[in-house]
C-alpha cells in the first residue's frame, strides 16, 4: 500500500498537525507514503515527515487545472494505491485530476469544518464524484452536518483526531512562562492556544477576560497562536483596556509547556469541527471551560471533565472560570478526568482507524 496525501495550506494549524501525526504513525507502521504540499510550507518542514517523500506543488495561486494535472502526473508515476485529501482545495484538485486528466486512484476526503457543504453545483459534484470513496468526518456533528449533501451515506465515516499525550509526561511550563511574562510564581493564568481565526470568537473570549479581570485584577490571560485575526484581536485588547493583563504570545512550538502553565483553559469557539486543542488541555491536566460548538460536546462532558457554556456567552464563561478558581476540588477533579479522557484520543489510534479505511477502499 502506498498513500499520496495532499495538503494545500502554507501555514500551520490543527489540520496540518493531524496530517503530520497521521503520516508519522503510518510510517512507523511501515506504510509507504508521499506528501504533496506547497514548497516551503510549514507542513513540508516538519520532523514527523522524515523518511517520507515530500513532493512540492509546482504551481502557485488558486487550485486549477495546472495543479490538477500535476496531481495526476504524480499519482500515475508514484505507484500509489489511493489519494487522501486533507482540505477542501486538495479535494477539488484531486477530483479535477480524476475528471479532466484521468487520474485513476480512489480518493479519501477528510472533512474537519463545522458548516454544511455548499449547495452549489461544484460542491455537490465534488463530494459525490465517483472517485471519492470515503469522507472522514472528525466528529459525529460534522457527519451530521455533511450528510444531507451526500447521496451515498455509506461513504461517511467518523474518525476523531488524536494528540500525542506523551508530550505532557515531563512538560511543566508553569515557572518558565511566568518568568517570561514577568509574573510572580503564584500568578493565575487563563489561556487559549487556538488559531487567531474568526470562528474561534476571540471577541467573546476577551469580553469574558474583561469580566474576570474586573472581579480579580490579579488574573492574567494568555493567547498563544497565529492567524488572520491577529490585528483585530490586538486592537480589541487595546480598545478594551486589557493590554496590562492579556499577553499575546504568537505562534509557539512549545505547546505542551505553554498549556501546562495554565490554571484554566478557556475556549470560546462559535464553530468547531472537533476542537483538538481541548484534547491537548485534557492531556495537560488543565481544567477546561468551553463553548458548545460543533464537536466540542463530544469531548467535554459538562461537569465531568470540563464545563460547557452557550456559544457567545461571555458571562457564562466568566462564571465557569470563577467557579473553578473558587472550588479547588472541582479543578482537581476536572483536570484528572480530562487527563483520563485524553488517552482515548491517541494519534496512533486515529491512524489505525484511518488505515482500516484505506484497506477497505483499496481492497487490500
pLDDT in tens, 29-53: 999 999 999 988 999 988 788 889 9
Kindly state the cell numbers that stand for 322.
470563577
Calculate the CA dihedral of residues 96, 101, 102, 104 and round it to 10 degrees: -70
Q: What is the pLDDT of residue 65?
A: 82
DSSP element (H, E) containing 123? helix 121-127
Which one, of 4, 25, 1, lies nearest residue 350 by Cα? Answer: 25
Lowest-confidence range among 41-55, 69-83, 101-115, 234-248? 41-55
pTM of the model: 0.92
Predicted confidence band of residue 102 (pLDDT cuts 50, 70, 90): very high
- Across the chain, mean pLDDT equals 94
The yes-or-no verdict on residue 63 having pLDDT over 70 is no
Domains of the chain: 2-162+346-362 (3.40.50.2000), 165-342 (3.40.50.2000)
DSSP-assigned beta bridge partners for residue 84: 5, 108
pLDDT band for 176, please (50, 70, 90 cuts).
very high
Which residues of the chain form beta strands (DSSP E)? 2-6, 32-38, 53-57, 82-85, 107-111, 132-137, 156-158, 189-192, 220-224, 246-250, 264-267, 288-291, 307-309
Closest CA to 160 of 342, 362, 13, 285: 342
Q: Which residues lie closer than 8 Å to 303 by C-beta, 6 or more apart?
A: none
Per-residue confidence (pLDDT) for residue 60, from 0 to 100: 54
C-alpha cell at 213: 479581570
Amino acid at each position: 500500500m502506498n498513500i499520496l496525501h495532499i495538503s494545500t495550506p502554507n501555514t500551520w494549524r490543527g489540520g496540518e498537525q493531524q496530517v503530520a501525526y497521521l503520516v508519522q504513525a503510518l510510517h512507523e507502521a511501515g506504510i509507504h507514503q508521499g506528501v504533496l504540499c506547497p514548497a516551503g510550507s510549514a507542513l513540508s518542514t516538519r520532523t514527523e515527515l522524515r523518511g517520507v517523500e515530500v513532493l512540492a506543488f509546482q504551481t502557485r495561486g488558486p487550485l486549477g487545472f495546472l495543479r490538477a494535472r500535476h496531481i495526476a502526473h504524480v499519482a500515475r508515476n508514484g505507484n500509489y494505491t489511493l489519494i487522501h485529501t486533507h482540505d477542501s482545495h486538495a479535494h477539488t484538485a484531486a477530483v479535477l485530476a480524476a475528471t479532466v486528466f484521468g487520474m485513476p486512484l480512489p480518493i479519501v476526503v477528510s472533512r474537519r469544518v463545522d458548516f454544511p457543504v455548499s449547495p452549489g453545483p461544484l460542491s455537490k459534484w465534488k463530494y459525490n464524484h465517483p472517485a471519492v470513496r470515503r469522507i472522514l468526518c472528525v466528529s459525529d456533528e460534522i457527519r451530521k452536518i455533511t450528510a444531507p449533501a451526500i447521496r451515498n451515506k455509506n461513504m461517511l465515516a467518523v474518525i476523531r483526531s488524536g494528540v500525542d499525550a506523551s508530550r505532557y509526561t515531563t512538560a511543566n511550563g508553569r515557572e518558565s512562562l511566568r518568568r517570561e511574562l514577568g509574573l510572580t510564581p503564584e500568578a493565575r493564568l487563563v489561556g487559549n492556544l487556538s488559531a487567531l481565526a474568526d470562528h474561534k470568537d476571540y471577541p467573546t473570549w476577551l469580553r469574558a477576560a474583561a469580566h474576570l479581570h474586573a472581579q480579580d485584577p490579579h488574573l492574567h490571560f494568555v493567547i498563544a497562536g497565529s492567524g488572520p485575526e491577529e490585528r483585530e484581536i490586538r486592537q480589541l485588547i487595546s480598545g478594551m483596556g486589557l493590554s496590562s493583563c492579556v499577553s499575546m504570545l504568537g505562534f509557539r512550538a512549545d505547546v505542551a509547556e505553554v498549556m501546562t502553565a495554565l490554571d484554566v483553559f478557556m475556549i470560546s469557539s462559535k464553530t468547531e469541527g472537533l476542537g483538538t486543542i481541548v484534547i491537548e488541555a485534557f492531556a495537560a491536566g488543565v481544567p477546561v471551560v468551553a463553548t458548545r460548538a460543533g464537536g466540542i460536546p463530544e469531548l467535554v462532558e459538562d461537569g465531568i471533565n470540563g464545563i460547557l457554556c452557550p456559544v457567545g456567552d461571555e458571562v457564562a464563561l466568566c462564571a465557569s472560570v470563577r467557579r473553578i478558581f473558587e472550588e479547588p476540588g472541582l479543578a482537581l477533579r476536572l483536570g484528572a478526568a480530562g487527563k483520563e479522557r485524553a488517552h482515548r484520543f491517541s494519534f496512533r489510534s486515529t491512524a489505525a482507524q484511518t488505515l482500516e479505511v484505506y484497506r477497505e477502499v483499496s481492497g487490500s
